[in-house]
Amino acid sequence: MLIGSAHASTQDASQAAIRKTEPVAETVKSVISRTVRKLVAIPDLNHLASQSVLIMDASSGKTLFSRNATLITPIASITKLMTAMVVLDRGLEMQEHLTISEEDMDSLKFTRSRLRPGTTLTREELILLALMSSENRAATALGRTYPGGMSAFVAAMNAKARSLGMVDSNFHDPSGLSPQNVSSAPDLARLVRAAHDYPMIREYSTRDRAQVTVKGRPLNYHNTNSLVRAGDWEIGLQKTGFINEAGRCLVMRARIASQDLVMVLLDSVGRNARITDANLVRHWVEATKAAASRKS
């Protein structure tokens, strides 16, 4: 009898323990379920801070999302992608040393630069700094030293734009400091797709940091795009831009959820708005793919 009573008591205790843990288990499952639903919820891209948006499949050219995409707006340093293409198209010597002059100083926006007049770097180093750290004097020097000078360079920029079918675009200078450098989101998508064909532009626009030597002293630069520096994106090409007239701009070719996309985000307000927008687009793509896979 004593053995039987002990056995029954043990069973009762076990069943009570199970009943006690069941609500906890259900609570955990509920929390996990809500978390999963939250993670896969498809965000509304109409809430993006950027005024003009275009998300495109890089291979097919199919538009996945657009908003105010036909607006023609200043593009700031996105210009530097065109600058690099024009220099590379001409086949100029990459190791030729070029010297920064007072002509390369910004007399429009009065932006600062560590490349003082008299600084000598190779043409390749100037392309690197223009693409990666958006160095304005580097870009201006590339245009000034082009065969025929600055006027010939700007003419070549506009000719290249026409050849790419960029009907909404006009270029006035190689740095993007001029608000007369204008384009639309579809045109910039064409620019990104074309620029991606240049290995040097792909490599240098996505390098997170670099060092150049100026008069025997090392100068360290970093990428203006924090997404490149973060390292958790697959970015094949990118360029940031900002002047007051253009707002914060960002173009990228990135691989998201096994799909190569072109992302154009123009005229956002706030230092981090374009980065927040890019992350929201990434979430949108991933969530849309996840929803589609659950249905299939």
Residue 62 annotated in active site: no
Catalytic residue among 50, 52, 134, 205, which?
Answer: 134
Residue 134 annotated in active site: yes
| C-alpha closest to that of 72 among 167, 200, 195, 214 | 167
Residue with tokens 């499949």: 57
| Cα–Cα distance, 239 to 250 (Å, whole number) | 6
Catalytic residue among 50, 52, 77, 178, which?
Answer: 77
Catalytic residue among 80, 169, 183, 239, which?
Answer: 80
Residue 66 annotated in active site: no
| Cα–Cα distance, 78 to 223 (Å, whole number) | 14
Annotated catalytic sites, by residue?
77, 80, 134
